[in-house]
């Protein structure tokens, strides 16, 4: 019987596609393997097989698959189930999930941009086709696969590309700029015959008349630490040697030809095995032990447990003990952290305990590294513990026993764009349940939905109310800045009390954190004469001003221009900085405290992972006195010498027309406040606000989470919000505003005819044009008791009938399920 395969292609197309399977590959292909397929007239993609069968599709001629890339699956059965759940729940395609889940290096396609790796040197002669591609790339080191296809005349290029990727001769170009760490590094050493004192000494004379070679030789001797007593030589990297000697590779080749030096490749593996000595676990305190046993008990009955523990209560310590327990049972652990909280602080802490059993998965790591972790998880020697960010829910697991979601309240667990717009906490709970594994959610400030589930018995609840070593929670001083501003007693954005406390802290060699909410404070420029504000030409937002770069940038599409010298509207030359970004705070603090060492941590100063880690390390080691930052400073960092935390403007967090703004404000302030406090001294938080009468301010001062929760949950019930109702936002996009308007009205009407008053809108969202596309939004609110499946089916049915309408051919429709 003729065989066929169903495959997922990495495209936002609905459903799967069937290709025929040539006989010679029948024995090799199984579900989960990658194959190359032609899709459309010319393009090739890496597809994933989900089923092998003998059902000839009706009504069309099937194409054959073009190549088989794997003989063992890269996608395991449970992962595939998880993908299906995700596509279904979040109303997107399997192709969307595929694209989000696999690192680029595992899903090459015609549009992939590949880059030459100049460090690559082959041990053995390469196959002709591979050599041909490398030759093309050495002339022009960045090319699209399609370009290479044309230039080489090779019809089926993807397998060749795959082979070169496997050899690390090329890599996949990533959108973000990463520092590429080659897996092997070319190094230089003495040839066998040169490894005597005599030979080395003679070489100086022999090279006397070839000055460049002599210079290189002398540099090598210096860098390798050569001495007469024959001690072990240091390894010398080829690149470093050439740079230090200031000569070209040809000079080195000369010495290689003379058999003086030789070049070899040294693995400098990214998955470095930590050779460091492992340490034993810290014993748990009495309170921690109670929480720990509480969690274990709770797991006997429930699959999910919330650990609600105040900041610095030692939740991480409890996680470590739980992980140890799960590993002993031969199972794996996934430990999720928000992107910004996954720092060297936490990785080192875990590495000291779990050593090489721990793998780290971060979206800012180079793609090649993520590919390696993926492959390792499929191998016999997989990591037992994965510490990772949101996307690590997609990694292959076979023995998952526990998932820990730390800082579970963090909104960044939700992926905003592109699809799948999934929430990693909720996805992790689903993933765990597929394995019969447990999930632990940890935080000092639970999400309202989570706490609701815990109080109602859906999740277990374990509370930890004291900080480790009974360090006191900080004292919060309230400052009414409206009153002070009226009396003209504010210096820039600082109250006299805050300045006094900062001064005292500096005098006592203690540290200070100043927190400014990011939202609503995007710095802008404005014309002083006519109030003109620069706008993005593709989106309906004003451009953000980056003083350091003298640039204006759009945060939605990345459009950038330099700051104009004069106002294009009135010609005025006074363009002033509006908004009080962290930059402005930094400038003001530098004037007020010229002797203090000040650092700033925001999106701008932390574009690379290393920059971010450096700011933290500097602060940790007290090379900085004052750290000014946005939400980033609130994330799980553990500093020992911080005695004062200033919250500059609480109101900026509250003035949002969003049903979560109070909850968020409380979480943020409680987390930032949690950074203050030292072993033998209570920390101080100076909370500046224009609205001291607001209940949330009082709740932060008394650290009264239950009260904040009660108020919020009452409101949510009253106004039909989660957790009582589920929200689905339906977005429509089109280039033409009038066509979009028609489509949105029609869609809303269809939806209303089936779902009634659950449908609101269409409306213009706050940012109603992005990348030249206009946007409309329809809100669907569904009561908890209704069948979500029916709603989803109805949504897709309505979408299909709208899309069939000739007028709306280029309309885009997408969904945000459980939006944040
Ligand atoms: P949380 O995650 O609850 O904010 P951490 O786990 O970061 O708190 O703990 C705060 C600090 O207390 C850390 O420096 C940690 O090393 C220390 N600590 C907590 N529990 C213990 C323990 N049982 N033994 C030793 N140190 C501990
Ligand atoms: Zn003007
Ligand atoms: Zn833009």
| Residue 698, domain member (yes or no) | yes
Find the DSSP H helices in 379-473.
Answer: 424-435, 448-455
Using the atom order of ligand 1, give the atom closest to the CA of residue 640: 14
What does the alpha-carbon distance between residue 604 and residue 537 come to, in Å, rounded to a whole number? Answer: 22
**SS3 category, 817:** strand
How many Cα atoms are found within 13 Å in the side-chain-facing hemisphere of 565?
A: 0
Pocket test for ligand 1, best of 288, 313, 316, 677 (most atoms within 8 A of CB): 316
Q: Are residues 730 and 707 in the same domain?
A: no
Find all residues with CB under 8 Å of 381, minimum gap 6, and list them.
none
Ligand nearest to the CA of 553: 3
**Distance in Å, CA 525 to ligand 2 centroid:** 11
Tens of pLDDT, residues 271-303? 444 445 678 888 999 999 999 999 999 999 999
For ligand 1, atom 23: residue with the closest CA = 284
**Distance in Å, CA 560 to ligand 3 centroid:** 8
Q: Which of 715, 742, 773 is the last residue of a domain?
A: 715
Q: Are residues 504 and 642 in the same domain?
A: yes
What does the alpha-carbon distance between residue 383 and residue 244 come to, in Å, rounded to a whole number? Answer: 39
The share of the chain scoring above pLDDT 90, in percent, equals 54
Q: What are the backbone dihedrals phi and psi of residue 636, each rounded to the nearest 5 degrees, phi first?
A: 45, 20
What does the alpha-carbon distance between residue 183 and residue 383 come to, in Å, rounded to a whole number? Answer: 19
Tens of pLDDT, residues 592-636? 999 999 999 877 777 676 788 888 888 988 899 999 988 777 765
For ligand 1, atom 10: residue with the closest CA = 312
Ligand nearest to the CA of 569: 2
Distances (CA, A) of 15 to 11, 96, 166, 254, 791: 10, 11, 30, 60, 19
594 or 542, higher pLDDT: 594
Q: How many domains does the chain have?
A: 6
| Residue 765, domain member (yes or no) | yes
Residue 330: domain span: 286-469
Q: Which residues line ligand 1 (CB under 6 A)?
A: 282, 284-285, 288, 309, 311-317, 468, 638
Model confidence at 239: pLDDT above 50:
yes
Q: Which of 538-542, 746-750, 806-810 has the lowest mean pLDDT?
A: 538-542
For residues 654 and 700, the answer to whether their CB atoms sit within 8 Å is no
92 is in an annotated binding site: no
Q: Are residues 646 and 630 in the same domain?
A: yes
Residue 640: name the closest of 788, 513, 749 by CA. Answer: 513
Q: Are residues 499 and 623 in the same domain?
A: yes
For residues 319 and 335, the answer to whether their CB atoms sit within 8 Å is yes
For ligand 1, atom 26: residue with the closest CA = 282
| Residue 571, domain member (yes or no) | no
**Distance in Å, CA 674 to ligand 1 centroid:** 13
| Residue 390, domain member (yes or no) | yes
Using the atom order of ligand 1, give the atom closest to the CA of residue 309: 3
470-503 residues labelled b (16+ CB within 10 A) or e (exposed): ebebbebbbbebeebeeeeebeebbbebbbebbe
Burial label, 626 (beta-carbon count in 10 A; 0-12, 13-18, 19+): buried
Burial label, 186 (beta-carbon count in 10 A; 0-12, 13-18, 19+): buried
Pocket test for ligand 1, best of 287, 312, 322 (most atoms within 8 A of CB): 312
Start-to-end C-alpha separation, the chain: 51
Q: Are residues 252 and 295 in the same domain?
A: no
Find all residues with CB under 8 Å of 795, minimum gap 6, and list them.
91, 728, 730, 751, 780, 815
Instruction: Identify the pLDDT of residue 235.
Output: 80
Mean of all residue pLDDT scores within the chain: 89
DSSP 8-state assignment for residue 781: E
Residue 722: name the closest of 681, 781, 649 by CA. Answer: 781
Q: What are the backbone dihedrals phi and psi of residue 74, each rounded to the nearest 5 degrees, phi first?
A: -100, -10
Ion ligand 3, residue ranges at CB < 5 A: 536, 538-539, 554, 556-557, 559
| Residue 709, domain member (yes or no) | yes
Q: Are residues 755 and 699 in the same domain?
A: no
For ligand 1, atom 9: residue with the closest CA = 314
Using the atom order of ligand 1, give the atom closest to the CA of residue 310: 3
**Distance in Å, CA 308 to ligand 1 centroid:** 15
Q: Are residues 198 and 319 in the same domain?
A: no
567 is in an annotated binding site: yes
User: How sure is the predictor about 818, in pLDDT bands with cuts at 50, 70 and 90?
Assistant: very high
248 or 740, higher pLDDT: 740
554 is in an annotated binding site: yes
Q: Find residue 49's DSSP bridge partners.
A: 7
Q: Are residues 696 and 774 in the same domain?
A: no
| Residue 566, domain member (yes or no) | no
Q: Are residues 362 and 246 in the same domain?
A: no
Q: Are residues 295 and 337 in the same domain?
A: yes
Strands (E), 242-349: 261-267, 304-309, 332-336
Q: Which of 51-65, 297-311, 340-354 has the lowest mean pLDDT?
A: 340-354
Instruction: Identify the pLDDT of residue 601.
Output: 86
What does the alpha-carbon distance between residue 283 and residue 522 come to, in Å, rounded to a whole number? Answer: 45
How many Cα atoms are found within 13 Å in the side-chain-facing hemisphere of 268?
A: 14
Q: Are residues 486 and 590 in the same domain?
A: yes
Residue 390: name the closest of 422, 434, 357 by CA. Answer: 422
What does the alpha-carbon distance between residue 560 and residue 550 come to, in Å, rounded to a whole number? Answer: 10
| Residue 272, domain member (yes or no) | no
Instruction: Identify the pLDDT of residue 182.
Output: 40
The structure's pTM equals 0.83
Q: Which of 108, 129, 156 is the last residue of a domain?
A: 108
Tens of pLDDT, residues 559-573? 889 989 999 989 988
What does the alpha-carbon distance between residue 555 and residue 581 come to, in Å, rounded to a whole number? Answer: 15
Find all residues with CB under 8 Å of 668, minimum gap 6, and list them.
517, 631, 634, 653
Instruction: Identify the pLDDT of residue 177.
Output: 36
Instruction: Identify the pLDDT of residue 183.
Output: 54
Instruction: Identify the pLDDT of residue 369.
Output: 86
Using the atom order of ligand 1, give the atom closest to the CA of residue 636: 4
For ligand 1, atom 2: residue with the closest CA = 315
Tens of pLDDT, residues 163-177? 898 888 998 876 433
Q: Which CATH number does the domain housing residue 35 bear?
A: 3.40.1440.60
Using the atom order of ligand 1, give the atom closest to the CA of residue 315: 3
Q: Which CATH number does the domain housing residue 327 bear?
A: 3.40.50.300
Using the atom order of ligand 1, give the atom closest to the CA of residue 319: 6
Q: Which CATH number does the domain housing residue 803 bear?
A: 3.30.70.600
Three-class SS of 141-202:
CEEEHHHHHHHHCCCCCHHHHHHHHHCCCEEECCCCCCCCCCCEEEEEEECHHHCCHHHHHH
**Distance in Å, CA 467 to ligand 1 centroid:** 8
Q: Are residues 354 and 499 in the same domain?
A: no
**SS3 category, 74:** coil
What does the alpha-carbon distance between residue 116 and residue 119 come to, in Å, rounded to a whole number? Answer: 9
Using the atom order of ligand 1, give the atom closest to the CA of residue 316: 6
What does the alpha-carbon distance between residue 113 and residue 385 come to, in Å, rounded to a whole number? Answer: 32
| Residue 50, domain member (yes or no) | yes
Residue 526: name the closest of 542, 515, 507, 508 by CA. Answer: 542
**Distance in Å, CA 286 to ligand 1 centroid:** 13
For residues 376 and 356, the answer to whether their CB atoms sit within 8 Å is no
What does the alpha-carbon distance between residue 536 and residue 556 come to, in Å, rounded to a whole number? Answer: 9
**Region 226-246 average pLDDT:** 81
Distances (CA, A) of 186 to 241, 255, 257, 267: 11, 15, 17, 9
Q: Which of 404, 439, 469 is the last residue of a domain?
A: 469
Q: Among 152-156, 361-365, 388-392, 634-638, which range has the highest average pLDDT?
A: 388-392
Model confidence at 581: pLDDT above 80:
no
Tens of pLDDT, residues 376-396? 999 999 999 999 999 999 999
Instruction: Identify the pLDDT of residue 268.
Output: 54
Tens of pLDDT, residues 429-463? 999 999 999 999 999 999 999 999 999 999 999 99
User: How sure is the predictor about 520, in pLDDT bands with cuts at 50, 70 and 90?
Assistant: very low
Ion ligand 2, residue ranges at CB < 5 A: 527, 529-530, 532, 567, 569-570, 572
How many Cα atoms are found within 13 Å in the side-chain-facing hemisphere of 330?
A: 0
Q: What is the signed CA dihedral for 131, 133, 139, 143, rounded to 10 degrees?
A: -160
């Amino acid at each position: 019987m003729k065989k066929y395969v169903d495959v997922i292609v990495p495209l936002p197309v609905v459903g799967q596609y069937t290709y025929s399977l040539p006989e010679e590959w029948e024995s090799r292909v199984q579900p989960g393997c990658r194959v190359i397929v032609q899709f459309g007239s010319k393009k090739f993609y890496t597809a994933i097989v989900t089923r092998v069968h003998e059902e000839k599709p009706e009504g069309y001629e099937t194409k054959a698959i073009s190549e088989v890339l794997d003989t063992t699956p890269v996608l395991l059965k449970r992962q595939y189930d998880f993908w299906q759940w995700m596509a279904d729940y979040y109303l997107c395609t399997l192709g969307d999930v595929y694209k989000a889940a696999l690192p680029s290096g595992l899903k090459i396609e015609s549009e992939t941009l590949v880059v030459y790796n100049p460090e690559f040197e082959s041990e053995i002669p390469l196959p002709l086709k591979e050599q041909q591609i490398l030759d093309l790339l050495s002339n022009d080191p960045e090319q699209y696969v399609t370009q290479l296809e044309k230039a080489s005349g090779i019809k089926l290029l993807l397998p060749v590309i795959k082979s070169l990727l496997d050899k690390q001769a090329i890599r996949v170009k990533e959108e973000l700029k990463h520092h590429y760490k080659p897996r092997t590094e070319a190094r230089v050493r003495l040839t066998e015959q040169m490894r005597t004192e005599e030979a080395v000494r003679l070489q100086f004379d022999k090279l006397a008349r070839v000055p460049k070679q002599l210079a290189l030789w002398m540099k090598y001797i210096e860098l390798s630490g050569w001495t007469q007593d024959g001690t072990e030589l240091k390894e010398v990297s080829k690149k470093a040697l050439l740079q230090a000697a200031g000569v070209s590779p040809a000079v080195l080749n000369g010495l290689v030809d003379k058999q003086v030096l030789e070049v070899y490749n040294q693995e400098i593996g990214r998955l470095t095995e930590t050779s460091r000595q492992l340490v034993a676990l810290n014993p748990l305190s009495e309170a921690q032990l109670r929480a720990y046993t509480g969690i274990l008990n709770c797991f006997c009955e429930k699959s999910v447990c919330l650990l609600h523990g105040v900041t610095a209560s030692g939740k991480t310590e409890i996680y470590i003990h739980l992980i140890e327990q799960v590993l002993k049972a031969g199972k794996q652990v996934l430990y999720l952290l928000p992107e910004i909280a996954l720092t060297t602080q936490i990785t080192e802490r875990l590495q000291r305990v779990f050593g090489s059993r721990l793998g780290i998965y971060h979206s800012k790591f180079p793609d090649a590294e993520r590919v390696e972790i993926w492959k390792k998880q499929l191998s016999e020697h997989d990591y037992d513990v994965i510490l990772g960010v949101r996307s690590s829910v997609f990694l292959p697991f076979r023995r998952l026993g526990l998932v820990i979601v730390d800082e579970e309240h963090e909104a960044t667990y939700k992926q905003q764009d592109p699809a799948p717009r999934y929430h990693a906490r909720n996805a992790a709970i689903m993933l765990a349940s597929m394995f019969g594994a447990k999930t632990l959610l940890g935080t000092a400030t639970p999400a309202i939905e989570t706490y609701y589930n815990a109080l109602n018995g859906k999740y277990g609840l374990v509370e930890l109310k004291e900080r480790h070593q009974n360090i006191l929670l900080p004292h919060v001083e309230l400052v009414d800045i409206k009153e002070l501003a009226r009396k003209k007693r504010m210096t820039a954005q600082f109250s006299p009390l805050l300045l006094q406390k900062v001064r005292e802290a500096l005098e006592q060699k203690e540290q200070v954190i100043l927190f400014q909410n990011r939202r609503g404070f995007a710095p802008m420029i404005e014309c002083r004469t006519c109030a003109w504000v620069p706008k993005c030409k593709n989106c309906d937002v004003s451009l953000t001003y980056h003083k350091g770069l003298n640039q204006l940038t759009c945060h939605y599409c990345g459009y950038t221009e330099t700051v104009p010298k004069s106002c294009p509207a009135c010609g005025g030359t006074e363009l002033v900085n509006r908004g009080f970004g962290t930059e402005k705070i930094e400038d003001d603090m530098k004037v007020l405290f010229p002797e203090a060492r000040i650092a700033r941590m925001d999106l701008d100063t932390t574009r690379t992972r290393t920059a971010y880690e450096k700011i933290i390390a500097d602060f940790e080691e007290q090379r900085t006195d004052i750290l000014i930052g946005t939400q980033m400073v609130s994330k799980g960092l553990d500093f020992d010498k911080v005695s004062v935390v200033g919250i500059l403007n609480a109101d900026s967090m509250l003035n949002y027309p969003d049903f979560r703004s109070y909850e968020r404000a409380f979480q943020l302030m409680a987390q930032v406040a949690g950074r203050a406090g030292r072993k033998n001294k209570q920390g101080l938080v100076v909370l500046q606000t224009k609205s001291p009468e607001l209940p949330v301010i009082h709740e932060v001062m008394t650290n009264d989470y239950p009260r904040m929760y009660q108020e919020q949950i009452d409101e949510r019930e009253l106004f039909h919000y989660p957790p009582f109702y589920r929200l689905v936002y339906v977005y429509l996009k089109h280039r033409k505003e009038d066509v979009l308007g028609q489509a949105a009205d029609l869609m809303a009407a269809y939806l209303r005819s089936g779902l009634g008053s659950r449908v609101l809108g269409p409306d213009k969202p706050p940012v109603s044009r992005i990348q030249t596309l206009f946007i409309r939004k329809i809100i669907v609110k569904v009561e908890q008791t209704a069948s979500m499946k029916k709603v989803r089916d109805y949504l897709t049915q309505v979408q299909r009938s709208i899309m069939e309408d000739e007028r709306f051919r280029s309309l885009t429709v997408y969904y945000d399920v459980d939006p944040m």
